[in-house]
Chain A
Amino acid sequence: MSGKKEHGLEMAMGRMLQIGVTLAALVVLIGGVLYLAQNGGTQRDYRHFHDATPATTTVSGIVASAARFDPRGIMAFGILLLIATPVCRVIFGVVGFAVLRDRLYTLISLIVLSVLLFSFFSQR
């Protein structure tokens, strides 16, 4: 077991998370500015729960509405990028442990990854 290589894997994960968060924050900020420019003075009702539209609840819906430059879609896309950062970290784990030839931890990382993917693509 090489501690140095593992530290390299950790550093790569940290760097990736940093870039992911910065990118997500920028996208959300752009969407937020556009949203406020369009809906500045209006007050939305947050007190009661409404049924949400697919445009902000499914991965494909979010991508489609962000591609139309809908401010809410852009914000949702930024949030999706943010949620994707820890998922990428687990993917880094799968690849990293495979490179280190650690079969047990490649498998454990794969289990975590499949639980995460299940939560995104299971119940619609």
Chain B
Amino acid sequence: MTGLGGGVVIIPVLCLLFKVDIHYALGASLVSVIATSSGAAAAYVRDGFSNIRIGMFLEVATTLGALLGAYLTAKVSGNWIGVIFGLVLLYSAWASLHKLHDVAHAGPPDPLALRLDLKGSFPDNGHENEYVATHVPAAFGIMFGAGTLSGLLGIGSGAVKVLAMDYAMKLPFKVSTTTSNFMIGVTAAASAGIYLGRGYVLPSLAMPVMLGVLVGSLVGARVLARTEVKTIRLGFAAVIVALGAEMIFNGVTGRL
């Protein structure tokens, strides 16, 4: 609903509140990211907004990025991960407050998009809206970056994915948000293999986080339906900013 996954909250809470080693926090968060993505898929599929071709094409970039990111987690110190994480949190808070709007499509369609079949249509008020992606190479590049962040930080990096699809490919936001949800699970699975092999995924820690996220998303969907969206967005963004600032502070002072 707020467009932010659970990872951005889980990692700071585990690290700052429960003093868990940041690598275990990354592993537990990544598991919860997959749970959220796969768990929400059923509802999204029913709407028919997601585009599996665009999703699959961009997953080439995000999964390769995720491999790089997961490789980097072993090379980069926990403090640096904390600082980068904090910065991504601040960006996510900013992005969640910005309302997405469909940008009017101008100019001829991207020939690369046509060759790759990156187009589709979705139902809106009884008639079919057609769309074709633009700026495909730029979007592919941003997606590689989104995948790297996802693998490095154990998050879904949905905010960056939506950025690539909205601003570069100029997809309708209903298409970009639902397609990004699908991609998040596949991207996270790419780094999950490496995390698992390194022992970041501690079953006894991931267990309560995963079950909590699944129950929480069921309850949350019901509560959210009855609450003012704008209030939630504002409140959530404030929490994220606070957590992000604290992660940066702890990273800079070397406490992670």
Contact = CB atoms under 8 A, between A and B. Distances in A.
B50 A112 contact: no
B48 interface: yes
Contacts of A52: 198-199, 202
Contacts of B202: 46, 52, 56
A43 B66 CA distance: 33
Main secondary structure of the interface of A (DSSP, over half): helix
Contacts of B205: 46
A17 interface: yes
A contact residues, range: 35 or more
Contacts, number: 178
B contact residues, range: 35 or more
Interface in A82-124: 82-87, 89-90, 93, 102, 104-105, 108-109, 111-112, 115-116, 118-124
Contacts of A104: 116-117
B23 interface: yes
B117 A57 contact: no
Contacts of B96: none
Most chain A beta-carbon neighbours within 10 Å: one of B59, B64, B199, B201: B59
15 contacts: A1-B117, A21-B214, A31-B207, A35-B207, A46-B18, A79-B201, A80-B196, A85-B38, A86-B34, A89-B185, A111-B60, A112-B60, A115-B63, A115-B190, A119-B190
